[in-house]
Amino acid sequence: MDYSSEFQRSISQRDDFWREQAARIDWIKAPEIVWQAKENGHGDWFPDGVLNTCDVALDANIRAGRGDQKALIYDSPVTQTQRAYTYNELTAEVARFAGALRARGIEKGDRVIIYMPMVPQAVIAMLGCARIGAVHSVVFGGFAANELAVRIEDATPKALITASCGIEVNRVIEYKPLVDKAIEQSSHKPEFCIVLQRPQARADLQAGRDVEWNTLMAGAQPVDPVPVKATDPLYILYTSGTTGKPKGVVRDNGGHAVALNYSMSLVYGAKPGDVYWAASDVGWVVGHSYIVYAPLFAGCTSILYEGKPVKTPDAGAFWRVVQDHGVNLLFTAPTAFRAVRKEDPDARELAKYDVSSLQRIFLAGERLDPPTYEWLSEHTGLPVLDHWWQTETGWAICCNPVGIEMMETKPGSATVPSPGFDVQIVDSFGHPVPAGEQGYIAVKLPLPPGCMKTVWGDDERFRRTYLDPIPGYYSSGDGGYIDEDGYVFVMGRTDDVINVAGHRLSTGEMEEVVASHVAVAECCVVGAQDELKGQVPIGLVLVKDGVATDPDELERELVQMVRERIGAIACFQRAMVVDRLPKTRSGKILRRVIRQIADGEAYTVPSTIDDPAILEEISEKFGR
Contact residues: ligand AMP, CB under 6 A: 239, 285, 364-368, 386-391, 414, 477-478, 490, 493, 499, 504
Binding footprint of ligand COA, residue count (CB under 6 A):
25
Of 532 and 605, which CB lies nearer to ligand COA in the complex structure?
A: 532
The one of ligand AMP, ligand COA, none whose footprint includes residue 239, by CB under 5 to 8 A per kind, is ligand AMP
Q: Which of 126, 152, 282, 569 binds ligand COA (CB under 6 A)?
A: 569
Instruction: Kindly state the smallest distance separating residue 362's Cβ from ligand COA, in Å.
Output: 10
CA 87 to chain centre: 25
CA distance 362 to 380: 13
Of 18 and 305, which CB lies nearer to ligand COA in the complex structure?
A: 305
The one of ligand AMP, ligand COA, none whose footprint includes residue 142, by CB under 5 to 8 A per kind, is ligand COA
Of 266 and 275, which CB lies nearer to ligand AMP in the complex structure?
A: 266
3 closest CA partner among 412, 403, 364: 403
CA 330 to chain centre: 16
Single-letter residue type at 387: H
Single-letter residue type at 540: L
Enumerate residues 6+ apart whose C-beta is below 8 A from 504. Answer: 239, 240, 284, 391, 497, 498
The one of ligand COA, ligand AMP, none whose footprint includes residue 168, by CB under 5 to 8 A per kind, is ligand COA
Of 274 and 386, which CB lies nearer to ligand AMP in the complex structure?
A: 386
Residues 172-201 that bind ligand COA (CB under 6 A): 173
The number of C-alpha atoms within 13 Å of 519 and in the hemisphere containing its C-beta is 16
Residues 316-355 that bind ligand COA (CB under 6 A): 332-333, 335-336, 339
Q: Provide the 10 A C-beta neighbour count for residue 39.
A: 8
Of 136 and 288, which CB lies nearer to ligand COA in the complex structure?
A: 288
Enumerate residues 6+ apart whose C-beta is below 8 A from 607. Answer: none
The one of ligand COA, ligand AMP, none whose footprint includes residue 565, by CB under 5 to 8 A per kind, is none
Residues 44-73 that bind ligand COA (CB under 6 A): none
Of 328 and 499, which CB lies nearer to ligand AMP in the complex structure?
A: 499
User: Is residue 290 part of the contact set for ligand COA (CB under 6 A)?
Assistant: no
Q: Following DSSP, what letter does each residue of 478-518 receive, concatenated?
A: EEEEE-TTS-EEEEEESSSEEEETTEEEEHHHHHHHHHTST
Q: Following DSSP, what letter does each residue of 334-378 receive, concatenated?
A: HHHHHHHHHH-TT-TTGGGS--TT--EEEE-SS---HHHHHHHHH
Single-letter residue type at 490: V
What long-range pairs does 61-66 form, CB within 8 A, spacing at least 24?
Answer: 61/87, 61/296, 61/299, 62/87, 62/88, 62/91, 63/26, 64/272, 64/299, 66/272, 66/273, 66/299
Letters for 10-29 (x = contact with ligand COA by CB under 6 A, - = none) are --------------------
CA distance 542 to 617: 13
Instruction: Kindly state the smallest distance separating residue 350's Cβ from ligand COA, in Å.
Output: 17
Instruction: Kindly state the smallest distance separating residue 143's Cβ from ligand COA, in Å.
Output: 8
Of 239 and 596, which CB lies nearer to ligand AMP in the complex structure?
A: 239
Of 388 and 481, which CB lies nearer to ligand COA in the complex structure?
A: 388
Residues 121-160 that bind ligand COA (CB under 6 A): 141-142
The one of ligand AMP, ligand COA, none whose footprint includes residue 310, by CB under 5 to 8 A per kind, is ligand COA
Dihedral angle over CA of 70, 76, 82, 87, nearest 10 = -20
Letters for 490-529 (x = contact with ligand COA by CB under 6 A, - = none) are -----------xxx--------------------------
**Strand residue runs (E) in 259-334:** 275-278, 301-305, 329-332
CA distance 414 to 418: 10
Letters for 354-393 (x = contact with ligand COA by CB under 6 A, - = none) are -----------x----------------------------
Of 48 and 168, which CB lies nearer to ligand COA in the complex structure?
A: 168
Q: What does DSSP say about strands 159-163 and 192-196: parallel, antiparallel, or unpaired?
A: parallel
Of 76 and 400, which CB lies nearer to ligand AMP in the complex structure?
A: 400
Instruction: Kindly state the smallest distance separating residue 418's Cβ from ligand AMP, in Å.
Output: 12
Please return the burial class of 378, using the count of CB atoms within 10 Å of its CB with bins 0-12, 13-18 and 19+. Answer: exposed
Of 234 and 571, which CB lies nearer to ligand COA in the complex structure?
A: 571
Q: Which residues bind ligand COA (CB under 6 A)?
A: 141-142, 166, 168, 173, 279-280, 284, 286, 308-310, 332-333, 335-336, 339, 365, 501-503, 533, 568-569, 571
